[in-house]
């Protein structure tokens, strides 16, 4: 129960995003206001702007209009034209007593209180058209605000009025505006309705939508001479330590809380059992307490002090999974004064006491010393425990107790869980982004992820609260991330905070709270230096200051870092721009070859998106990171999203995306919407450089965010249909896109847009790769005009993913097909088909 409550809190961001997203389904449930074509159009009308008390002001700024100032009609049903961006989703982001007034220099200003107390703090933004709003600014002190604004907010200059709509009394600002503004706002609402209708379309409703639809004939004719170069790193992965993806997940360590550094504050005090002793217990009369005097390292303050006789036990992450005959490295730091029983027995056992292996050693030093031995499991056990049996101890201190499988991915020490790492490698990702996500910029500036805290000997790394509501040991740190990238032949794409924390941050000591406070200016030089140090650590000579640290860890050769993300879907405020610009300019100056990836907010539109791109244009940022989690309908109806992008601007990294349905299940339906969109990304591979589905990993029972690509527990790895889509695209990437002309037997756009395709050429083996997605309830008879390709006579490989729309276990099947039989393909309803045909170089 405790955990459930905590998880709910930890996920407020996720829930709030989900609510924003799904509320579209009911916001628009009443008909659009239709203004009569018979009214004679006036020159001006009244616009009323207000916020409701409902949901404590989180519904944002709403509008009504009137010709006479007496009879009012709402514009839309609770369609917010701007919402407060301040503080946490769910609990904050309140707009109280908004007031609108003319802005110096043109347009309109809007100011509001962030809390019900009369003296602020205040937020401020502006618009020229009443639906596109500028950046939001925040003020704590009244003196910070423009004097006239203070008085406006405090009601002395501009009285708020009270109007009534359908018997509901509403308090807000009444303005006289031109009639064209009212008309545009109504149009804006109508358009929003139309989009909502399209984007909420679900394939599971196709029986009605496409009743009587006949199988479709489609002919694809490649325009061979018109091919274009596309990105060679389009499909990659996004790794974030969310859902226990790192500790208890990809990081192969089997001991939970090995360093006794868990803290109540990791879960912000919501779980009283989450503390330095979590996952540990004591049997017998022995005493076990946590001490911090003279620790092994100042960054690891706590250790276990044992006295008397007893058994100290660690339960791992809900049990330790061990495999028969596999070897496990046991290590710990110990110091102590031995009594009569000098021997310390260390064993792995089943929970009912069957010993799987046992060794003894003597902690013979009064000072901290590292002890190591190897245990071999004599049986497979999915939920074993590790035990330290001690007798007659006056004092024994233990810290950093580790049990690590030798059988890690590529046999790396302090490495990765083999099955999970193999599943990631099998995607053939061209890059790995890490460490987040929101984790990269943290919950408040004190929680920003500092890469340099995560390298070096384990005992010197700085563990910290994971903003997803648990603990990061950072045992999986920057060295391990880079090593993994190298091991799988993927570019490392680290993301550092842009000097501001997550836009879901809470207050954390600053009067204006999380996102709105950046790293103080006096600390920015140090922060920028830390970012520059990262580049030296990754690429510098082994004798350089930071290159030495990398070399000492076992990698004298550089890691060849090329890309670095600065910022993660941040709130694009003035505070952000100032800091981003400083970091960006410093990197450009010192490392002009490093490609900086900027950020354009958490949505595909809106203020952060617009303002993020403005900064990109201003600074000539080479790549911009976009994020959007949308409905399958959005992905189907927006396949032309990048067709419209200006090729002279920054390239795009679609850093986080996934199709979401109610219940957040990972079904074939969502996977096919993603597949259709991926063909559009390939078509736009000249401007879309990279894309990564998010999130990647989720541990059963510890999932804060769904859907994810891979679900796992201590023993099993379960791959979703979306995983297979990523894998099919990742393994069948190309660097040349061949445009296609398509003709259809059905002229309906609704039908045509549900058949998506792309053709690329892979220069590695000259293969022609044809990808076809059928998101229709009927078969598609696809005729492929292949004559102009210089094909080999060897058979093609055809991979197909299909099944029930609700399936969460659909897997692709693969077969070999003679080239002469490829011309006519029948694509089953709801399927992705990929044909890989060997060809000769031209
Ligand atoms: O992918 C999960 C989260 O979604 C990421 O941490 C964040 O960047 C986005 O909001």
CATH number of the structural domain spanning residue 833: 2.60.40.1180
In the listed set 570, 592, 621, which residue is the last one of a domain according to the structure? 621
Atom number of ligand 1 nearest to Cα 695: 1
Paired strand residues for 826? 781
- Whether residue 106 contacts residue 123, with contact meaning beta carbons closer than 8 Å, is answered with no
Domain containing residue 378: CATH number: 2.60.120.260
How many Cβ atoms from other residues are within 10 Å of residue 334's Cβ?
26
440 and 475 housed in the same domain: yes
Q: What is the pLDDT of residue 118?
A: 66
Q: For residue 458, give the CATH number of its domain.
A: 3.20.20.80
Bond prior to 65 in cis (omega within 30° of 0): no
List the chain residues with pLDDT less than 50: 1-37, 156-157
pLDDT at 339: 59
Statement to judge: residues 292 and 152 lie in one domain: no
- Residues that are catalytic: 569
Task: Please indicate, yes or no, if residue 74 is contained in any of the structural domains.
Answer: yes
Looking at the structure, tell me whether residues 523 and 391 fall in a common domain: no
17 with 64, same domain: the answer is: no
Atom of ligand 1 minimally distant from the CA of 238? 1
Asked if 442 and 516 sit in the same domain, the reply is yes
Report the distance separating Cα 419 and Cα 91, nearest Å: 39
Q: How many CA atoms lie within 13 A of 342 on its CB side?
A: 5
**Do residues 167 and 213 share a domain?**
no
* C-alpha–C-alpha distance, residues 497 and 449, integer Å: 7
Q: Is 94 helix (H, G, I), strand (E, B) or coil?
A: coil
Q: What pLDDT was estimated at residue 145?
A: 57
Identify the CA nearest to 738 among candidates 788, 694, 799, 795. 788
Which backbone phi and psi does 2 adopt, to 5 degrees?
-50, -45
Same domain membership, residue 524 and residue 617: yes
* Domain presence at residue 650: no
Do 454 and 555 fall within a single domain? yes
Alpha carbon of 18 to ligand 1 centroid (Å): 12
Asked if residue 676 belongs to a domain, the reply is: no
Which H or E run contains 22? helix 12-22
136 lines ligand 1 (CB under 6 A): no
378 assigned to some structural domain: yes
The predicted pLDDT at position 391 comes to 87
Distance 508 CA to ligand 1 centre (A): 20
The total domain count for the chain is 5
The rounded distance, in Å, linking the Cα atoms of 766 and 417 is 35
Q: For residues 410 and 440, what is the distance between their CA atoms, to the nearest angstrom?
A: 27
Would you state the pLDDT for residue 827?
Answer: 98
- Rounded CA gap, 565 and 125, in Å? 28
Cα–Cα distance measured from residue 336 to residue 397, given in angstroms and rounded to the nearest whole number: 6
661: Cβ–Cβ under 8 A, 6 or more apart, which residues?
A: 202, 631, 632, 667, 669, 670
Residues spanned by the domain of 148: 37-199
Q: How far apart are the first and last CA of the chain?
A: 65
Examine the domain organization and report whether 187 and 213 are in the same domain: no
Pairing of strands 235-238, 431-434: parallel
Does 367 share its domain with 301?
yes
Q: Got the DSSP string for 463-524?
A: -EEETTTEEE--SS-HHHHHHHHHHHT-EEEEEE--SS--TT---TT-TT-TTTS-S-HHHH
Residue nearest atom 8 in ligand 1 by C-alpha distance: 437
φ/ψ of 634, rounded to 5, equals: -60, -45
pLDDT at position 25 is: 34
**Cα(700) to centroid(ligand 1), Å:** 19
CA 53 to chain centre: 32
Is 126 a domain residue?
A: yes
Q: Model confidence over 156-170: pLDDT tens digits?
A: 445 678 999 989 999
Evaluate: CB of 695 within 6 angstroms of ligand 1: yes
Residue 324 and residue 378 in contact, taking contact as beta carbons nearer than 8 Å: yes
pLDDT at 37: 47
pTM: 0.94
pLDDT at residue 154 in the model: 55
Same domain for 468 and 399?
A: no
CA 482, 483, 488, 492: dihedral to nearest 10 degrees? 10
Domain boundary among 348, 374, 407: 407
CA-based torsion, 224, 230, 233, 239: positive or negative? negative
The answer to whether residue 494 is domain-embedded is yes
> Looking at the domain assignment, is residue 678 inside a domain?
no
Residue 141: what pLDDT? 59
How far CA 307 is from CA of 97, 336, 371, in Å, comes to 62, 10, 19
Do 221 and 195 lie in a common domain?
no
704 in any annotated domain: no
Nearest CA to ligand 1 atom 3: 437
């Amino acid at each position: 129960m405790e955990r459930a409550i905590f998880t709910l809190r930890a996920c407020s961001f996720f829930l709030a995003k989900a609510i924003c997203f799904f509320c579209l389904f009911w916001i628009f449930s009443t008909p659009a206001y239709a203004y009569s074509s018979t009214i004679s159009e006036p020159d001006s009308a009244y616009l009323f702007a207000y916020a409701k008390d409902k949901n404590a002001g989180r519904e944002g700024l709403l509008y009504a209009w009137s010709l006479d100032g007496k009879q009012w009609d709402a514009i839309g049903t609770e369609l917010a034209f701007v919402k407060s961006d301040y503080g946490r989703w769910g609990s904050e982001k309140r707009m109280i007593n908004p007031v609108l007034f003319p802005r110096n220099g043109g347009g309109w200003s809007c100011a509001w209180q962030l809390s019900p107390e009369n003296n602020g703090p205040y937020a401020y933004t502006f618009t020229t058209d009443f639906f596109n709003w500028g950046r939001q600014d925040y003020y704590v002190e009244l003196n910070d605000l423009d004097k006239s604004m203070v008085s406006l907010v405090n009601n002395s200059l501009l009285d708020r009025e009270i109007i009534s709509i359908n018997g509901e009394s509403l308090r807000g600002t009444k303005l006289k505006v031109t009639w064209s503004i009212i008309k545009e706002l109504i149009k804006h609402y109508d358009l929003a309705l139309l989009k909502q209708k399209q984007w909420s379309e679900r394939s599971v409703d196709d029986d009605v939508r496409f009743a009587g639809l006949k199988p479709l004939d489609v002919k694809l004719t490649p325009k061979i001479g018109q091919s274009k170069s596309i990105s060679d790193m389009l499909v990659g992965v996004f790794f974030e330590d969310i859902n226990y993806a790192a500790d208890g997940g990809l990081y192969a360590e089997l001991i939970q809380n090995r360093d006794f550094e868990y803290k109540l504050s990791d879960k912000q005090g919501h779980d009283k059992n989450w503390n330095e002793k979590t996952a540990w217990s004591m049997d017998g009369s022995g005493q076990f307490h946590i001490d911090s005097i003279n620790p092994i390292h100042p960054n690891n303050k706590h250790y276990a002090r044992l006295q008397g006789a007893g058994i100290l036990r660690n339960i791992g992450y809900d049990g330790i999974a061990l495999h028969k005959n596999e070897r496990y490295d046991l290590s710990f730091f110990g110091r102590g004064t031995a009594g009569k029983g000098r021997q310390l027995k260390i064993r792995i056992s089943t929970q009912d006491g069957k010993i799987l292996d046992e060794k003894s050693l003597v902690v013979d030093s009064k000072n901290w010393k590292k002890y190591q031995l190897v245990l071999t499991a004599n049986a497979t056990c999915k939920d074993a425990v590790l035990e330290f049996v001690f007798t007659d101890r006056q004092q024994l201190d233990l810290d950093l107790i580790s049990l690590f499988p030798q059988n890690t991915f590529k046999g790396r020490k302090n490495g990765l869980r083999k099955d999970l790492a193999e599943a990631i490698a099998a995607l053939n990702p061209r890059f790995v982004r890490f460490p987040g996500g929101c984790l990269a910029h943290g919950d408040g500036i004190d929680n920003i992820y500092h890469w340099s805290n995560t390298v070096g000997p384990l005992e010197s790394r700085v563990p910290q609260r994971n903003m997803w509501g648990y603990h990061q040991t950072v045992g999986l740190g920057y060295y391990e991330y880079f090593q993994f990238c190298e091991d799988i032949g993927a570019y490392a794409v680290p993301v550092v905070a842009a000097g501001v924390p997550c836009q879901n941050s809470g207050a954390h000591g600053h009067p204006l709270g999380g996102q709105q406070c950046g790293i103080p200016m006096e600390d920015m030089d140090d922060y920028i230096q830390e970012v520059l140090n990262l580049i030296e650590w990754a690429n510098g000579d082994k004798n350089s200051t930071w290159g030495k640290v990398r070399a000492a860890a076992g990698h004298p050769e550089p890691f060849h870092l090329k890309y670095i993300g600065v910022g993660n879907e941040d709130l694009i405020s003035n505070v952000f721009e100032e800091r981003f610009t400083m970091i960006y300019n410093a990197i450009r100056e010192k490392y002009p070859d490093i490609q900086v990836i900027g950020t354009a907010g958490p949505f595909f539109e809106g203020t952060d998106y617009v303002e993020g791109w403005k900064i990109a244009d201003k600074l000539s940022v080479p790549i911009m990171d976009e994020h959007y989690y949308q409905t399958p309908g959005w992905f189907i109806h927006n396949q032309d999203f990048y067709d419209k992008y200006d090729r002279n601007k920054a390239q795009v990294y679609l850093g986080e995306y996934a199709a979401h349905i109610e219940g957040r299940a990972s079904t074939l339906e969502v996977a096919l919407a993603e597949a259709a969109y991926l063909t559009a990304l390939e078509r736009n591979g000249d401007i879309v450089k990279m894309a990564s589905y998010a999130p990647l990993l989720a541990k059963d029972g510890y999932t804060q965010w769904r859907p994810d690509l891979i679900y796992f527990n201590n023993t099993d790895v379960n791959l979703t249909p979306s995983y297979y889509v990523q894998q099919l695209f990742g393994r069948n990437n190309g660097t040349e896109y061949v445009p296609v002309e398509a003709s259809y037997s059905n002229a309906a756009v609704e039908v045509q847009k549900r058949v998506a395709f792309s053709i690329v050429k892979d220069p590695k083996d000259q293969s022609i790769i044809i990808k076809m997605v059928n998101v229709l309830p009927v078969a598609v008879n696809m005729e492929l005009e292949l004559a102009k390709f210089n094909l080999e006579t060897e058979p093609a490989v055809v991979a197909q993913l299909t099944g029930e729309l609700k399936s969460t276990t659909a897997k692709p099947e693969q077969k070999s097909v003679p080239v002469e039989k490829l011309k006519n393909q029948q694509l089953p309803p709801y399927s992705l088909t990929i044909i890989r045909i060997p060809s000769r170089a031209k």
